Amino acid sequence: MALKFASNLSFMFTEVPNIIDRYQLAKQAGFKAVESGFPFGFSIQQVAAAKKKADVDQILLNVFTGDVTKGELGFAAIPGEEENFKKSIEKTIEYAKALDCKMIHIMSGKVDTPTAANDTIYEKNLLYAVEKCQKEDIVVVIEPINNYSVPNYYMNNFQKGLNLVKKINNEHFKLMMDIFHLQHCCGNITKCIQDFLPYVGHIQIAQVPDRHEPDTPGEIDYKYVLSLLEKMGILAILVWNIDQNH
């Protein structure tokens, strides 16, 4: 089965400051699909028009994460932020529907010293998000992010994420597997892919350690990894999640 690829507009084509202008650049580069972080500062109409003009599919949208100037990266695991979390879900669903996007990435937020209270509210909030998104036939994904790239990010453990996906056990709730983070967090990529893949709804790729292009020198042999995914019959679109500021 041939693999399909998409561009992450939040990381790629950063020579253009406005994320909505990157839709056209992705199209010109040959991508037929894109994903992105939440398009802060742009209306639903502006983003939808940019996507339509570029004639690309939006396969994933990050949740509204709060005030990025304050370093906020979501509310899901933060007690006391339940109302902000619910508002962020409602807002993101509105954008996703306008973009005909069927997958939302819920970001956990940063927590200095996680406790049982964080675990409890995280699961509760995810259940709320899955319930809301399921009504719109939108899949919720969570992504373990390594603490080298994002210190104190709450969802920083693949096994923890996998356990939650198994526990909630809903076809509209999946794990996002960024192989960049997988290498940082776990290593042993072949075994991890084989174990996690049945629970994965979305895959991202970038070279380690510096999030460069997959075909550049680095820790990961992507020729082998992509061949492995192809042999396993992966249906997900692989997203180039690279940092071009290098």
The per-residue pLDDT for range 207-226, each reduced to its tens digit, is 999 999 999 999 999 999 99
Residue-range domains of the chain with CATH: 4-240 (3.20.20.150)
Which of 204, 80, 93 has the alpha carbon at shortest distance from 140? 93
Is residue 169 exposed (0-12), middle (13-18) or buried (19+ Cβ within 10 Å)? exposed
Q: In this structure, are residues 91 and 62 in contact, taking their beta carbons and an 8 Å threshold?
A: no
**116-134 and 82-98 helices, crossing angle to 10°:** 30
Q: Is the confidence at residue 47, as pLDDT, over 80?
A: yes
Pair 209, 190: CB distance under 8 Å: no
Q: Is the pLDDT of residue 93 over 70?
A: yes
Confidence of residue 204 (pLDDT cuts 50, 70, 90): very high
How far apart are alpha carbons 106 and 112 in whole angstroms? 19
C-alpha span between 15 and 60 (Å, rounded): 22
Mean pLDDT, residues 146-165: 97
Under a CB-based contact definition with an 8 Å cutoff, are residues 36 and 62 in contact?
A: yes
CA dist 48 and 18 (Å) reads: 14
> What is the model's pLDDT at position 219?
96
Name the nearest CA neighbour of 74 among 122, 137, 41, 8: 122
Helices (H), ranges, 55-115: 82-98
Band of residue 3 on the pLDDT scale cut at 50, 70, 90: confident
- Tell me how far apart the alpha carbons of residues 207 and 201 are, in angstroms, rounded to a whole number: 21
Strand partners of residue 200: 175
Express each pLDDT in 125-152 by its tens digit: 999 999 999 999 999 999 999 999 999 9
Work out the pLDDT band at 245, boundaries 50, 70, 90: low
CA-to-CA distance for 202 and 176, rounded, in angstroms? 5
Evaluate if pTM is beyond 0.75.
yes
CA distance 164 to 81: 20
